[in-house]
Structure 1
Amino acid sequence: MPKPTKIYFIENSYDHNGEDLDNPKIGGSEKTTINITNELSKKKNLLIKVFNNTSKPKKIKNVIWENINNLSLNDIPDYVIAKGDANLFYKLNCKKNFLWSHSIQSIEKFIRKKQLFPFLKFKPKLILEGEYHYNKRNFFTSMYGKKILEIAPDFEFLNTKIDKDIIPDANAIFTTKSDRNLDFLINSWFKINENIKNSKLYINPPYELNYKEIKKNIIIRNKGDKFDLINDLKNSRLFLTPGHKTEVFCLAAEEARELCVPIVTMGKGCLYERVIHAKTGYIAKNQNEFINYATQVLSDDNLYLYLKSNLFNLRGSKNYSIVATNFLKILNIN
């Protein structure tokens, strides 16, 4: 049997390993690493390692998790995938380098974040997460090539049973960060709630509600584990998010889509990629449209069921088995 192809992932993030997929403290980037390495480990003749800040190095589901301080330049992989920071390439000796980006970087920010010299030295190809991300990454910061790799929700979202005939109460939900235009959303919600008095908007902590927001049925959801999130999304009639210029994929919206929750958005950042206009939700051109589309979905049962049916037919179209296959194509591994 030939020697296995070594694929090493390296990230400088939270203390976690492959057992932490359901831990609410880890972010989308870390979840992506766990999901894709778990899928890659099922492929024949691949050796998968992840180097990060784990305090519990161990082998999990045939993936070897090691502390980043245990790296050796003598351990030479066939491919290195650095998550978010080109300086990580200094820690490994490899000729096939890939930089998996989770952000948009202007040339100024690229230089300020000290990415320029390692980028020029190690010549990585970029892995980007969507059309918006691809188009916003300029030539100078991606001159060695760039490819799109769309990610997916965790398998629990795909495997959750959905009854496409159930109509939830007039609950809207926003499960992303408060710095992603939450102020615009709350301002819009005041008008939406005037139109539908019994409607409720659930948002993530941390956020301090004022008296007016409480009176308009804005509620801080209990940010528990993944299964609490799934339950909250299943009980929501609408995922309401303006989007933001820093969003390059918005996993939160993709999770809602997989659970058949229609989305109303301004389409900012990548959000236009998460919605098929008038089929799975709506992309508003202005705030008045945003308010009107949200009001329609929350009040019109037939419209809601139409959107939900379209979403139901798309279930499972994105999963990590597909992501892993596309990832190997980017690496040019058959």
Structure 2
Amino acid sequence: MADIVIADTTRRYDGRHLETHPLGGTESSVIRLARELVRRRHAVTVYSNCDAPVEDHGVQWRPITGARPETCDLYVACQHPRLLRFVRRPRRRAIWVLWQPNHLKHYKQIGRVWWYRPVPVLQSLHQVHIYSPFLPRRDPHILIPLGLPEDVRGQAPLAAPPPRRAIFASNPQRNLKRLVEIWAEKVLPRVPDAVLDVYGVHEMPADADFWAAWGGSLLPAGQPDHVRASVRMHPTATRTGLIEAMRGSRVMLYLGHKVEAFCLAVAEAQALGVPAVVAPVAAVPERVLDGITGFHEADPDRFAERAVALLTDDALWRRQHEAALRHQQGISWSEYAGRFEAALLADRFPINRSVLAVPPEADGDQ
């Protein structure tokens, strides 16, 4: 058993928030990994911007503003080089690169990275390709694609195609405005009864006038009534509600963003059997098998054509829906934790094979 410390300062949360609050990919990944490492018989403490000490699924959560641990077997800093010194003398230090790795070579950070020389853990080929040759590295890189939770994996094919609904389920700052422009100009005229459902909105009340608040910023200004009616803005949804919305959509539309290092939203939609049309930006195209479970299209006209096809062609939708269910299930968080453990601990601690025989439901976390 190893003593593992993880530190993350992305937002205010602890492990209980996975079931009670909307979380980003970083926070949910930290919680899921910590739980699985505990299940593999390790002692895990996560330091975050939580309000008070708490235990959740065997994981100890501690405020990062409190006392710092002196040592541990493995210390994992999430993303930020400034966290590398948080544990003074760990036996091994790693940095879990959940965003782009470019910031590691920033002139204010590169000194810290070289001083501590953490083992980088990456999650996409895109990260590998842009990882600076001037930074310390493992050769080969430790590359483990993020796990997918069991609630999106192993779904049966739908008996019939969903209605003509598309879905966007990311941060609205990630090119929603341009997507709605393409929708209004190139998709809706050809599929007048289509609807674009927008999820990922967490800071607005349900009765807010999104067009008045976001027109000209996150949404295009001056849109006619029929366009506004076709774009349905949804405030914070439950996890179950979001999964139901994805399964009830014919296609996920996403133009991508340069900061995407993995894109869990598209990965989860694909695992649920939702075809996707995405722009080939950053790590996003790694989540979609072009021509098989969706399409990669940089050109707006071609992007719109693919969206229209998936909204209207039942045979195409069926092929890609079933292909996504066959090929896009990803790895479980249990497997992710096993790979993580093997990459960072196997040379110092024997791998506990007995956990592989424990059914997932035995720990009450499924």
Secondary structure (helix, strand or coil) at the match of 2:84 reads helix
Secondary structure (helix, strand or coil) at the match of 2:148 reads coil
Q: Residue 214 of structure 1: CA displacement?
A: 4.6
Contact preservation (8 Å) 1:152, 1:251: no
Q: Are positions 1:55 and 2:41 aligned together?
A: no
Which amino acid is the alignment partner of residue 323 of structure 1? Y
Could you report, residue by residue, the CA deviation over 1:36-59 in whole angstroms, capped at 9, with x for unpaired residues? Answer: 111111113x21111112113122
Secondary structure (helix, strand or coil) at the match of 2:255 reads strand
Paired residue for 1:179? 173
Q: Are positions 1:126 and 2:123 aligned together?
A: no
Task: Give aligned pairs, total.
Answer: 326
Secondary structure (helix, strand or coil) at the match of 1:256 reads helix
Matches within 5 A, 1:120-199: 120-143=114-137, 146-158=141-153, 161-190=155-184, 191-199=186-194
Could you report, residue by residue, the CA deviation over 1:257-287 in whole angstroms, capped at 9, with x for unpaired residues? Answer: 1111100011211111011111101111422
Q: 1:90 aligns with which of 85, 109, 129?
A: 85
Amino-acid identity (%): 21
Taking a change above 3 Å as real, the CA distance of residues 87 and 53 of structure 1, as seen in their structure-2 partners, is same
Q: Which moved more, 1:17-26 or 1:282-291?
A: 17-26
Secondary structure (helix, strand or coil) at the match of 1:269 reads coil
Which amino acid is the alignment partner of residue 261 of structure 1? V
Which amino acid is the alignment partner of residue 26 of structure 1? L
Paired residue for 2:31? 34
TM-score after normalising by structure 1? 0.91
Q: Which moved more, 1:294-303 or 1:228-237?
A: 228-237
Which amino acid is the alignment partner of residue 31 of structure 1? S
Q: C-alpha separation between the residues in 1 aligned to 2:138 and 2:314?
A: 50
Contact preservation (8 Å) 1:40, 1:48: yes
Q: Residue 73 of structure 1: CA displacement?
A: 4.3
Q: 1:292 aligns with which of 305, 310, 321?
A: 305
Q: Which moved more, 1:46-55 or 1:16-25?
A: 16-25
In structure 2, runs of 5+ residues without a counterpart are 205-209, 216-220, 352-366
RMSD (CA atoms): 2.1
Q: Residue 95 of structure 1: CA displacement?
A: 3.6
Could you report, residue by residue, the CA deviation over 1:39-88 in whole angstroms, capped at 9, with x for unpaired residues? Answer: 111113x21111112113122212111122333343x1111100011221
Q: C-alpha separation between the residues in 2 aligned to 1:84 and 1:312?
A: 31
Contact preservation (8 Å) 1:262, 1:308: yes
Q: Are positions 1:212 and 2:223 aligned together?
A: yes
Q: Which moved more, 1:145-154 or 1:168-177?
A: 145-154
Q: Which moved more, 1:176-185 or 1:33-42?
A: 176-185
TM-score after normalising by structure 2? 0.83
Contact preservation (8 Å) 2:114, 2:136: no
In structure 1, runs of 5+ residues without a counterpart are none
Taking a change above 3 Å as real, the CA distance of residues 105 and 324 of structure 1, as seen in their structure-2 partners, is closer
Q: Residue 169 of structure 1: CA displacement?
A: 0.7
Q: 1:311 aligns with which of 324, 330, 348?
A: 324
Contact preservation (8 Å) 2:163, 2:248: yes
Secondary structure (helix, strand or coil) at the match of 1:90 reads coil
Contact preservation (8 Å) 1:71, 1:91: no
